[in-house]
Amino acid sequence: MQPSAVPELAHTQARPIHWLATATAVAGVVALSSLLQPHPATAAPPSGTRARSVSGSAVPPTTAGVAFPLDCGPVQAKVVRTATGDLDGDGRPETVAVVHCDAPMGTPPDGVYVLTQGPRATRPRIVATLVSPGERTTVTSVDIRDRAVLATVLGYSTDDVPACCPDLKSEAQWEWKDGVFVRSKAAGARSV
């Protein structure tokens, strides 16, 4: 006995009407999705920003308009992280800013700067450089706790390590002592 031939089924043949129906369905989904959008975003601090409460109504210095000491050539300096808090105990907050050149490629090194502002709303000014861009490091986090600046710093074991791939990680801490910021936590770098 020979197997019987299976008759052709109408739905297995792609005809122009099938393609038209599929295109209409896809267009409907696209049109409907353009009507159903998420709610607009609300204002939030920049990524990496940490705000700490400070006594009184003192406002922390802003980084807007500050001329950071970076040589960025044709690109601008970019603030990538900030933290605020009273570092010297005077009741007015300082701002710690992590800044690098906004390079379109590569991993530009970070600088970490402390900004202060006088009580009469004068322009913010840089009072300390905690990490210089010349150190070739990347700062992945910055915070202020108990009047100390805490940061996670990525660096390089040798000049031969490519800038894309830091191979050392350390936790750094600076405290205000006798009118200067003193690094109080050992560099203690470990391999990444």
Q: Which tens digits make up the pLDDT trace of 8-38?
A: 555 556 667 766 767 676 666 565 555 554 4
Side chain identity at 82, as an amino acid letter?
A: T
pTM of the predicted protein model: 0.68
Smallest CA-to-CA distance from 130 within 99, 159, 162 is with: 99
CA quadruple 87, 88, 90, 95: dihedral sign = negative
Smallest CA-to-CA distance from 119 within 180, 61, 65 is with: 61
Contacts of 139 (CB under 8 A, 6+ apart): 81, 98, 110, 112, 131, 151, 152, 153, 154
DSSP-derived pairing of the beta strands 49-50 and 180-183: unpaired
Residue 4 included in any domain: no
**How far is Cα 170 from Cα 158, in angstroms, rounded to an integer?**
15
pLDDT at 55 over 50: no
C-alpha pair distances (Å), 18 with each of 1, 32, 108, 113: 38, 21, 54, 64
Residue 38 included in any domain: no
pLDDT, averaged across the chain: 79
**How far is Cα 145 from Cα 25, in angstroms, rounded to an integer?**
57
Residue 23 included in any domain: no
Query: How is residue 54 written in tokens?
Result: 């400070």
Q: Band the pLDDT of 149: cuts 50, 70, 90.
A: very high
Residue 168 included in any domain: yes
pLDDT at 142 over 90: yes
Q: In total, how many domains does the chain have?
A: 1
**How far is Cα 188 from Cα 192, in angstroms, rounded to an integer?**
12
Residue 160 included in any domain: yes
Residue 74 included in any domain: yes
- For residue 176, the enclosing domain spans 49-191
Provide, rounded to the nearest whole percent, the portion of the chain with pLDDT above 70. 68
